[in-house]
Amino acid sequence: MIEFSHIHQLIKQKAEQYFDYAVKTRRHLHQHPELSFEEYKTAEFIQKELDKINIPYKTMGKTGVVGILKGNKSSDKTVALRADIDALPIQEIKGRSYGSQNPGVMHACGHDAHTAALLSVAHILSDLKDEFGGSIKLIFQPAEERAPGGAALLIKEGVLKNPEPESVTGQHVMPSLEAGQVGFRSGKYMASADELYITIHGKGGHAAQPHQNIDPIAISAQVIASLQQIVSRMADPRTPTVLSWGKISGKGASNVIPDKVEIAGTFRTFNEEWREEALSRIERIATSITESMHGHCNIAIKRGYPVLTNDEKLTQKNKKWAEEFLGKEQVKDLDLWTASEDFAYYSQVKPSCFYRLGTGNPSKNITSAVHTATFDIDEKSLLTGIGLMSYITLKQLGY
């Protein structure tokens, strides 16, 4: 039986033991990134690694892998740990010895580190399975980067059943936190995110004869300006709300009014009821303005991920255990973040905690944000990540 006073030291030793493995695994995955629902070689690699330590698994969600690690002591508790495994369509900068070997594809969001960390945690806890009871679900989830995402698909296929976990915990890299640090936030943490596609149809023609045309560019300008009132005048100021447009395409010329204009943007917020109301208002406002100016519009809303809400009790416990394991000075409080994550789907059905693993190091010039061609991590952060997740898991199981 692991003595409570010895857990800290024991996990620290195991994390040191498997640190080189974590780095080697992360670099292998970084060299061989795969896009959402195309992670076939990644899944095969994960399966082989689980085979090495005799952890049974099954495939789910096309390219996902879910392992079950059981302790040998008597307990019916089950907890789940999640890592995402997909990469992004980004061309990595040249010059890295472990750089991507797949042109135009890169682990620019740290999913290689997440997967390497969870495999390392599997090694650590497998070594200790004679010392604890209960089951640990190891969820290697595909397609976090592409809506509707892999989490919803895995849940639909029963990833949270047989056995049913009491909680789901995930960690994610954060370059704005230095390696060795972690961050937590209870309650609402990450925003919902929906993609907006509006096509405004008019009647094109010569720019010198606007009275004979229906100008979709002029209509688009009115629509974009008016929709900003969704944020400035209709949203409760206490609910962060973002409406941003990233693309407008008219394909006319200096003297040609086009037939149509295409606009694409994103809507994000932290309240599901307001999310539904705002999306409805966006449709009504865009339609009414367009029709009032004698055009017509088509609106497509691609529903993204919901609000990610960290369970208050679980998150506070995990934060306390992080302070025990790392020292209070290494554990930071996080602000709301208007990015989105499909981990949110787990948080809708189970007490969940999604915390941040610091990976930055200004002294090494490792400061680039995620989703950039220059993104990298200080690999010393893996020592923190594998140790803390192992410690938190044992504590969740009652040790």
- Condensed to tens digits (0 to 9), the pLDDT of residues 126-170 reads 999 998 999 999 999 999 999 999 999 999 999 999 999 999 999
User: One of 86, 145, 376, 378 is an active-site residue; which one?
Assistant: 86
- CA distance linking residue 347 with residue 308, whole number of Å: 6
Statement to judge: residues 185 and 155 lie in one domain = yes
Q: Of 302, 331, 354, which residue is a domain's last? A: 302
Statement to judge: residues 182 and 236 lie in one domain = no
Q: Of 237, 272, 302, which residue is a domain's last? A: 302
pLDDT at 1 over 80: no
Residue 86 catalytic? yes
Q: What is the pTM of this model?
A: 0.94
Statement to judge: residues 149 and 57 lie in one domain = yes
Statement to judge: residues 142 and 166 lie in one domain = yes
Output the domain CATH number for residue 267: 3.30.70.360
Per-residue model confidence as pLDDT tens digits over 173-228: 999 999 999 999 999 999 999 999 999 999 999 999 999 999 999 999 999 999 99
Q: Of 302, 321, 340, which residue is a domain's last? A: 302
Output the domain CATH number for residue 133: 3.40.630.10
* Domain of 229, in residue numbers: 192-302
Structure tokens given for 37: 């629902």
Statement to judge: residues 203 and 184 lie in one domain = no
**Concatenated DSSP letters for 92-149?**
PPS--TT--SSTT-B--SSHHHHHHHHHHHHHHHHHTGGG-EEEEEEEEE--SSSTT-
- CA distance linking residue 21 with residue 3, whole number of Å: 27
Q: In what order do the strands lie in the sheet with 352-360?
A: 57-60, 64-70, 133-141, 73-84, 168-178, 352-360, 182-184, 331-333
Q: How many CB atoms lie within 10 A of CB 300?
A: 10
User: Which residue in the block uniquely carries the two structure tokens 């008019």?
Assistant: 202
Q: How many CA atoms lie within 13 A of 213 on its CB side?
A: 21
Query: What ranges in 262-380 are assigned the alpha helix state H?
Result: 272-292, 312-326, 344-349
Statement to judge: residues 218 and 264 lie in one domain = yes
H or E segment and range at residue 227: helix 216-227
Statement to judge: residues 272 and 324 lie in one domain = no
Per-residue model confidence as pLDDT tens digits over 318-351: 999 999 999 999 999 999 999 999 999 999 999 9
Statement to judge: residues 213 and 147 lie in one domain = no
Statement to judge: residues 311 and 205 lie in one domain = no
Statement to judge: residues 16 and 157 lie in one domain = yes
Number of domains in the chain: 2
User: One of 34, 144, 145, 311 is an active-site residue; which one?
Assistant: 144
Residues of the chain with pLDDT > 90: what percent?
Answer: 97
Structure tokens given for 152: 């919803």
Statement to judge: residues 345 and 283 lie in one domain = no
Statement to judge: residues 186 and 236 lie in one domain = no
SS3 399: coil
